[in-house]
A and B are shown apart, each in its own frame.
Chain A
Amino acid sequence: MSSAVQPVQAMPLSADGLDELHQAVAGFDREQLLWTSGYLAGLARLEGEPPPHTPASAAATGEGLTVFFATETGNSRKIAGDIVSAGQAHGLTVDTVDLARCKPRQLARTRNALFVVATHGIGEPPEGTDGFFDVWLGDTAPALANLRYGVLALGDSSYADFCEAGRQLDTALANCGATRIIERVDCDVDFTAAAGHWVEKAVKMAAACDDETPGKAVLRAVSSPAPIDRKRPHRAPVIVNQRITGRRSSRDVRHVELDIDGAGLAYLPGDSLGVVSSNPPRIVDAVLEAAGLDGDVIVALDGDDLAAAAALGERLEITAVSRPFLDAIARREDGLSQKLSDRAFLRDYLETRQVVDVLHEFPVDWTEQSLVDALRRLPPRLYSIASAPNVNPGEAHITVTVLDYERFGRAHWGSASGFLADEPSSVPVYIEQNPRFRLPEDADAPVVMIGAGTGVAPYRAFVEQRRELGQRGPNWLIFGNRNLDSDFLYQQEWLQYHEEGYLRHLDVAFSRDQADKIYVQHRIMEQGRRLVDWIDQGAFLYVCGDAKCMAVDVHAAILAVLEQYAGLSGEAAVERLDELRASGRYLRDVY
């Protein structure tokens, strides 16, 4: 930060204020500064006038009053509406949140909350709200020392466990350290009078509390902690580790939410999370068995003496096959050394085999030490971050395909994905910046996001970010996977964004839903006219996912579309796409 920035008349900061700001951001690099600018913009939204199209949300800020309702038949929603009216009469900013649609942990950032909770069936919370109840009624519910709350329970006394859901929530919140500002009332089917009375009283109590709530977020200078990188990863507690492909899917894809609060890990949409994991024991065992070795034998590695199993588990790459590993075998196995000169063989071999396959296919006499010496160091795995930091403060989400398949008569597993599939309680991570895969700085620029499978992950962060910042540039997602029923990753969210209009277009290609396989490139061709129009209007094109097939086919499809709809020759189309790439409007994150 240079001190050449002078306070100008229009600047609303005093000289002292500006000094404070300089101190706060001292030592930040460009990326951190950019992130901070977004953060500050977010803070600005909490204060005073909200920008158009983005009404200030009490739920997001923790100010005012938030009414959480859990409804089966609509009664709770109705009462929540009554609270809004009553609250406004008391000058409160009141937000309503449907527990079936909210992020459970949103509550941790809320200061004043009223709950209207119905019970259905036998003592159960309403349909769709179990995610919220799982978190806050569970053993690992976070503390809620700052929360002040009240619960209105609705039920039907002809059922056992009358108002059970409301009762349990009331108790659980108190156990989390929250302060009850009004006693719970349990309403029967004729709830009108009892509920009306409670609402009136609850709103009065909430209004009294709101006056005490500190109204300002204070920006403080923080001392810069030791940087976190692949050598010094941060052990991030796992908040959520949830399979997000349906039960009929052929793939296990996980949505993993990590707690990086206070770790000093700043990121922007487009960045990746480096996962510094160890190899799951089942892979270590398979490798030791294939090589006929004993995991307890002590080996030397990087100046340490340790058990071979520990070396293979913690430090060495034992899934992906490297050229030096093959060379080490080829030195002792003539059959392989001849084949390695065949480039096509080598390419295919490196792509399809894991270390365990090579050990089986080219048996040589290994010792524990010679195997350890032949393998390279275990590199971190990078996953595109699937969350926007301003929407998920203190969290980073990733989307992980768990590799687990049979091939060549053997089981194969992924290293990091296998580690994550074992549901660790924490994951060592760092941020890998990816400045070549960033949202446009222009808030009005159109964005076209093309991705297949987990390639959709960064787009979740993109759309969250643009929506949160109230950016008006139109967004278009073209997503592909196997089946609509089970493989539409983050389907609920995309449908909601689409319904809101925030996602202007949503095109999907499910390859296995019909006899002929349909992929994202087919949708690009179908929508060629629109794509060319968007490019003409300054759209940024993003491609994320598989490099070998998808990215190549998408590239060809864009060229074809430019020829057909922009009237370009084949050569001119290539030039045009090169231009877009050079000007940072054709961005790819493929692997």
Chain B
Amino acid sequence: MTREQSPVEKLKARSNFLRGTLAASLSNLVSGALAGDDTQISKFHGVYQQDNRDERAERNRQKLEPAWRFMIRARIPGGIVTPAQWRDLDALARRYADASLRLTTRQAIQFHGVIKCDLRNTIRGINDTLLDTLAACGDVNRNVMCAPLANFSAIHTQALQVAQAISNHLTPRTRAYHELWLDGENVAAEPEHEPLYGSSYLPRKFKIAVAIPPVNDVDIYAQDLGFIAIARDGELAGFNVTVGGGMGVTHGDAATYPRAADAIGFCSPDQAIAVAEQVVLLQRDFGDRSNRRHARLKYTIDDRGVDWFREALATRLDTPLTAPRAFRFTHRGDPVGWARAADGCWNLTIHVPQGRVRDGDEARLLSGLNAIASSHAGEFRLTPNQNLIVAGVPDDGRSAIDRQLADYGIDTLQSASGLRQQALACVALPTCGLAMAEAERYLPDFSNAVERLLARHGLEDLPLSLRISGCPNGCSRPYLAEVALVGKAPGRYNLHLGGSVNGDRLNTMVAENLDEAGILAELDRRLARYAESRQHGEAFGDFAARTARTEGAVTPA
């Protein structure tokens, strides 16, 4: 407790509930950037300052500041938007961003390439369509995920309500968001008060998801806090509670590691909000505020033990958790295509490569989805695999949508391999400031190469989970993939193998700092061994984990 707080902690504390000097930064006309400290505070408002790294050297020679652009993340609890909202977001993307929407791995939507003088207009537009960006980033609870379930189970509605209630409960109460982006007035005459978070918010970001077995599409083991819905007689009986998952790692810092969450008990649906609140408060009070690389809940728990955490939580809850119930996860991918839901309607899962909704040369996803949204009366659901579900289509609505898919060249995406349907990549270069290597832009080429390898070994239909992350922070949840690349330098990656199909086991690094040829050679060798000596029904990730000792694995120093 005596250790000095990290600079970001001091910044939060003196930010006056997330105001900082953002108002002055926004009215400063001589630079497209925010003042340095405001770039931290803006994250809490869902706004990331970035620059086009492809242009950095060129702009420096031109004596111009970097090409500052902003990423704006709209928070969409459970990933559900109406077609009308979708069309509003589409219009904002065309007007203020780079004419694309990015579906994130947490069911949110990102705008990229917004310039400073358009920030307010964009956020107002998002607000006008009844969504917001507050707490989409920053040291707070982020977008609460909920399994979107293409083939709706009856408990989805109940689980979604819990997810949305948790999201509402954990939303910051500061007026700063309205003041800065919407009405522009400072109405906080009396000192403000943030009942849950306090003036310094959390030590680090905090991620919550609700999973509905048998699908683990939300990657529950990557979450700080997870709720696994348990059904009984077609009703929601409650949730198994998991804590302490997290992906972020720093290259060369052995004290950082990915961690799969632990199940610590079971709660009723009524208890879920109280459980979420108390877990957040434990992290608020015990999380490490001196070292941001050691500040996620996973370290708070590992520093003291899971038993300590379970007991600490029990003393804070009116009703203690009971023993976790039995359940089974079987897979994580989305079933692309049409499926009939429990209510008799149809759902169409559309494959969105890398989650990027734009008008490409062949598939014009942005315009096509806009056209569908114009005539469709149901819902759009964003999946944790960065795909999109058109939900609630009546029997006689299918053919019109199929025609639209064909008109806009989207139908060709639907035949993508199992590998591609669930492949994830973070945004990385050129906009992400943390990226060390390509990810989103590299995934298509790398998928091609992997597909060629699979074909060579007669494994065309293997639905391998493949994830690429441009840096070790792990936005694409690489450490839970069967095959993952983690960026080290341009064109260089660490290769990780051995995650499970359902996402309940971390993979391990098998080779460090490889170029593409090195990665493919390593995969080729291991796929050959897998094709010839796998056990019946054994997935590649399981095979890789089982044979790690003999095939060689690298333990990070």
Q: Does B164 contact A (CB under 8 A)?
A: no
Residues of chain A lying within 8 A (CB to CB) of residue B492: 122, 159
The A472-501 residues at the B interface (CB cut-off 8 A) are 484-486, 488-495, 498
Given contacts A159-B513, A491-B30, A492-B63, 14 further A-B contacts (CB under 8 A): A120-B489, A122-B489, A127-B56, A128-B56, A131-B61, A156-B252, A158-B512, A159-B488, A245-B62, A246-B62, A246-B64, A491-B65, A492-B65, A507-B29
User: What's the Cα separation between A139 and B512 when bound, in Å?
Assistant: 36
User: What's the Cα separation between A495 and B66 when bound, in Å?
Assistant: 12
Q: Does B67 contact A (CB under 8 A)?
A: yes
Q: Does A514 contact B (CB under 8 A)?
A: yes
The A244-291 residues at the B interface (CB cut-off 8 A) are 244-247, 255
User: What's the Cα separation between A565 and B512 when bound, in Å?
Assistant: 69
Residues of chain B lying within 8 A (CB to CB) of residue A514: 117
CB nearest neighbor in A for B69: A485
The A485-539 residues at the B interface (CB cut-off 8 A) are 485-486, 488-495, 498, 506-508, 510, 513-514
Q: Pick from B30, B59, B67, B252: contact of A495, CB below 8 A.
A: B30
CB nearest neighbor in B for A243: B62
- The 8 A-B residue pairs with the shortest CB-CB distance, nearest first, are A244-B62, A492-B63, A121-B489, A491-B64, A506-B30, A130-B57, A490-B63, A121-B490
Q: Does A193 contact B (CB under 8 A)?
A: no
Residues of chain B lying within 8 A (CB to CB) of residue A426: none
CB nearest neighbor in B for A127: B56
Q: List 5 A-B contacts (CB under 8 A).
A: A127-B56, A484-B115, A488-B30, A490-B63, A491-B65
B61 touching A246, Cβ below 8 Å: no
Q: Does A4 contact B (CB under 8 A)?
A: no
The B474-491 residues at the A interface (CB cut-off 8 A) are 488-491
Residues of chain B lying within 8 A (CB to CB) of residue A508: 29-30
CB nearest neighbor in A for B116: A484
Q: Does B60 contact A (CB under 8 A)?
A: yes
The B105-153 residues at the A interface (CB cut-off 8 A) are 115, 117
User: What's the Cα separation between A130 and B57 when bound, in Å?
Assistant: 7
Q: Does A344 contact B (CB under 8 A)?
A: no
User: What's the Cα separation between A243 and B61 when bound, in Å?
Assistant: 8
B56 touching A484, Cβ below 8 Å: no
Q: Does B58 contact A (CB under 8 A)?
A: yes
B64 touching A494, Cβ below 8 Å: no
Given that A158-B512, A484-B32 are contacting pairs, would A255 and B63 also be in contact in the complex, using a CB cutoff of 8 Å?
A: yes
The A432-472 residues at the B interface (CB cut-off 8 A) are none
Q: Does A242 contact B (CB under 8 A)?
A: yes
Q: Does B414 contact A (CB under 8 A)?
A: no
Q: Does B307 contact A (CB under 8 A)?
A: no
Interface string of B309-328 (1 = CB under 8 A from A): 00000000000000000000
Q: Does A8 contact B (CB under 8 A)?
A: no
Residues of chain A lying within 8 A (CB to CB) of residue B29: 484, 507-508, 510
A247 touching B55, Cβ below 8 Å: yes
Residues of chain B lying within 8 A (CB to CB) of residue A160: 513
Q: Does A189 contact B (CB under 8 A)?
A: yes
A122 touching B491, Cβ below 8 Å: yes
Interface string of B506-518 (1 = CB under 8 A from A): 0000001100000
CB nearest neighbor in B for A248: B67
CB nearest neighbor in A for B491: A122
Give the contact-size bracket for chain A.
35 or more
Residues of chain B lying within 8 A (CB to CB) of residue A244: 62-64
B490 touching A488, Cβ below 8 Å: no
Residues of chain A lying within 8 A (CB to CB) of residue B67: 246, 485
Q: Does B16 contact A (CB under 8 A)?
A: no
B115 touching A131, Cβ below 8 Å: no
B115 touching A485, Cβ below 8 Å: yes
Residues of chain A lying within 8 A (CB to CB) of residue B62: 242-246
- Rounded to whole Å, the gap between the CB of A493 and the closest CB of chain B is 6
- Rounded to whole Å, the gap between the CB of B452 and the closest CB of chain A is 25
B63 touching A491, Cβ below 8 Å: yes
Q: Does B31 contact A (CB under 8 A)?
A: yes
CB nearest neighbor in B for A498: B30
- Rounded to whole Å, the gap between the CB of B289 and the closest CB of chain A is 22
Give the total number of A-B pairs whose CB atoms are below 8 A apart: 80
B32 touching A485, Cβ below 8 Å: yes
B30 touching A494, Cβ below 8 Å: yes
User: What's the Cα separation between A485 and B62 when bound, in Å?
Assistant: 12
Interface string of B220-262 (1 = CB under 8 A from A): 0000000000000000000000000000000010000000000
- Rounded to whole Å, the gap between the CB of A125 and the closest CB of chain B is 10
The B52-98 residues at the A interface (CB cut-off 8 A) are 55-65, 67
CB nearest neighbor in A for B59: A246
Residues of chain A lying within 8 A (CB to CB) of residue B115: 484-485
A128 touching B490, Cβ below 8 Å: no
Residues of chain A lying within 8 A (CB to CB) of residue B489: 120-122, 159
Interface string of B291-333 (1 = CB under 8 A from A): 0000000000000000000000000000000000000000000
Residues of chain B lying within 8 A (CB to CB) of residue A485: 32, 67, 115
The A351-372 residues at the B interface (CB cut-off 8 A) are none
A242 touching B61, Cβ below 8 Å: yes
User: What's the Cα separation between A495 and B59 when bound, in Å?
Assistant: 14
Given that A158-B512, A159-B492, A247-B55 are contacting pairs, would A488 and B64 also be in contact in the complex, using a CB cutoff of 8 Å?
A: yes
User: What's the Cα separation between A243 and B490 when bound, in Å?
Assistant: 27
User: What's the Cα separation between A493 and B64 when bound, in Å?
Assistant: 9
Residues of chain B lying within 8 A (CB to CB) of residue A189: 252
User: What's the Cα separation between A268 and B113 when bound, in Å?
Assistant: 43
CB nearest neighbor in A for B57: A130
User: What's the Cα separation between A506 and B490 when bound, in Å?
Assistant: 38
User: What's the Cα separation between A494 and B62 when bound, in Å?
Assistant: 13
The B433-482 residues at the A interface (CB cut-off 8 A) are 436
Residues of chain B lying within 8 A (CB to CB) of residue A246: 55, 59, 62, 64, 67
Q: Pick from A127, A131, A489, A495: contact of B65, CB below 8 A.
A: A495
Residues of chain A lying within 8 A (CB to CB) of residue B490: 121-122
- Rounded to whole Å, the gap between the CB of B97 and the closest CB of chain A is 15
The A563-579 residues at the B interface (CB cut-off 8 A) are none
B64 touching A492, Cβ below 8 Å: yes
- Rounded to whole Å, the gap between the CB of A280 and the closest CB of chain B is 23
Residues of chain A lying within 8 A (CB to CB) of residue B252: 156, 189
B31 touching A495, Cβ below 8 Å: yes
- Rounded to whole Å, the gap between the CB of A458 and the closest CB of chain B is 16
Given that A491-B63, A492-B63 are contacting pairs, would A513 and B117 also be in contact in the complex, using a CB cutoff of 8 Å?
A: yes
Residues of chain B lying within 8 A (CB to CB) of residue A128: 56-57, 60
- Rounded to whole Å, the gap between the CB of B432 and the closest CB of chain A is 14
The A215-249 residues at the B interface (CB cut-off 8 A) are 242-247
Residues of chain A lying within 8 A (CB to CB) of residue B61: 131, 242
CB nearest neighbor in B for A523: B29
Residues of chain A lying within 8 A (CB to CB) of residue B31: 491, 495
The A158-199 residues at the B interface (CB cut-off 8 A) are 158-160, 189
Interface string of B7-44 (1 = CB under 8 A from A): 00000000000000000000001111000000000000
- Rounded to whole Å, the gap between the CB of A518 and the closest CB of chain B is 9
The A124-173 residues at the B interface (CB cut-off 8 A) are 127-128, 130-131, 156, 158-160
User: What's the Cα separation between A437 and B510 when bound, in Å?
Assistant: 69
Residues of chain B lying within 8 A (CB to CB) of residue A484: 29, 32, 115, 117
User: What's the Cα separation between A368 and B512 when bound, in Å?
Assistant: 72
User: What's the Cα separation between A120 and B55 when bound, in Å?
Assistant: 17
Residues of chain B lying within 8 A (CB to CB) of residue A513: 117
The B179-223 residues at the A interface (CB cut-off 8 A) are none
User: What's the Cα separation between A44 and B492 when bound, in Å?
Assistant: 53
Residues of chain A lying within 8 A (CB to CB) of residue B513: 158-160
User: What's the Cα separation between A588 and B488 when bound, in Å?
Assistant: 55
A247 touching B30, Cβ below 8 Å: no
User: What's the Cα separation between A489 and B488 when bound, in Å?
Assistant: 36
The A88-131 residues at the B interface (CB cut-off 8 A) are 100, 120-122, 127-128, 130-131
Residues of chain A lying within 8 A (CB to CB) of residue B63: 242, 244, 255, 489-493
User: What's the Cα separation between A100 and B490 when bound, in Å?
Assistant: 21
Of the listed residues B32, B60, B252, B513, the one surrounded by the most CB atoms of chain A closer than 10 A to its CB is: B60
User: What's the Cα separation between A352 and B3 when bound, in Å?
Assistant: 71
